[in-house]
């Protein structure tokens, strides 16, 4: 397992993407890496903006990537207030088909997170949010 800690700032998003991409690229095909990195980016952005930034608190994100037993697992941990994005409401088809000026903001990132991975799990561990994103290797293994 590879693990790094990043300040919970917008400037950390590119390094988080690079870290996850570097770990996943050797084992996942290009489309799977893209989807996984996009999911991690959306989740990290939500934590930075909504978990910390809008509340006026500073913090960090711990990002761990593990490759084992037929899957790639990315775990993001933070100390922001509890929020389970894995069960938050997604936009309905009606909302998505409405003109942009009539749409309520939000929810599209959650769709990208859930679409990008096979399993999205949340738990509150003590005073920490733990979000785990899992991509199975069976259908998206990098060709050798």
CATH number, domain at 83? Answer: 3.30.565.10
122: which 2 tokens? Answer: 């949340």
Q: Residue 84 falls within a domain, yes or no? A: yes
- The single residue listed with the structure tokens 């509150």 is 124
Q: Is the pLDDT of residue 81 over 70?
A: yes
Q: Is the pLDDT of residue 112 over 90?
A: no
Q: Residue 25 falls within a domain, yes or no? A: yes
Domain count, the chain: 1
Q: How confident is the model at residue 91 (pLDDT cuts 50, 70, 90)?
A: low
pLDDT at 7: 97
Q: Residue 142 falls within a domain, yes or no? A: no
The secondary structure element, H or E, covering residue 4 is strand 2-7
pLDDT at 53: 86
Q: Residue 108 falls within a domain, yes or no? A: yes
pTM of the prediction?
A: 0.85
The secondary structure element, H or E, covering residue 126 is none
As a whole number, the mean pLDDT across the chain is 86
Edge to edge, the sheet with strand 2-7 lists 2-7, 60-68, 71-78, 128-136, 119-125
Where in the sequence is the domain holding 42, given as residue range(s)? Answer: 2-136
Q: List pLDDT tens digits, range 31-60.
A: 999 999 999 999 999 999 989 988 888 999
Q: Residue 63 falls within a domain, yes or no? A: yes
Q: How large is the average pLDDT for residues 85-93?
A: 66
Q: Residue 78 falls within a domain, yes or no? A: yes
Q: Is the pLDDT of residue 98 over 60?
A: no
Q: Residue 141 falls within a domain, yes or no? A: no
Q: Residue 13 falls within a domain, yes or no? A: yes
């Amino acid at each position: 397992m590879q693990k790094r800690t990043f300040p919970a700032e917008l400037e950390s998003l590119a390094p988080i993407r690079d870290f996850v991409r570097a770990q996943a690229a050797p084992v996942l095909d290009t489309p799977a890496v893209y989807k996984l990195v996009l999911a991690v980016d959306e989740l990290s952005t939500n934590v930075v903006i909504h978990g910390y930034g809008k509340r006026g608190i500073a913090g960090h994100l711990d990002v761990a990537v593990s490759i084992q037993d037929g899957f790639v697992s990315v775990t993001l941990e933070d100390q922001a207030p509890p929020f389970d994005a894995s069960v938050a409401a997604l936009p309905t088809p009606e909302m998505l088909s409405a003109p942009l000026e009539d749409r309520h903001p939000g929810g599209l990132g959650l769709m990208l997170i859930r679409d990008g991975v096979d399993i999205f799990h949340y738990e509150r561990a003590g005073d920490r949010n733990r979000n785990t994103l899992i991509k199975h290797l069976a259908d998206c293994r990098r060709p050798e």
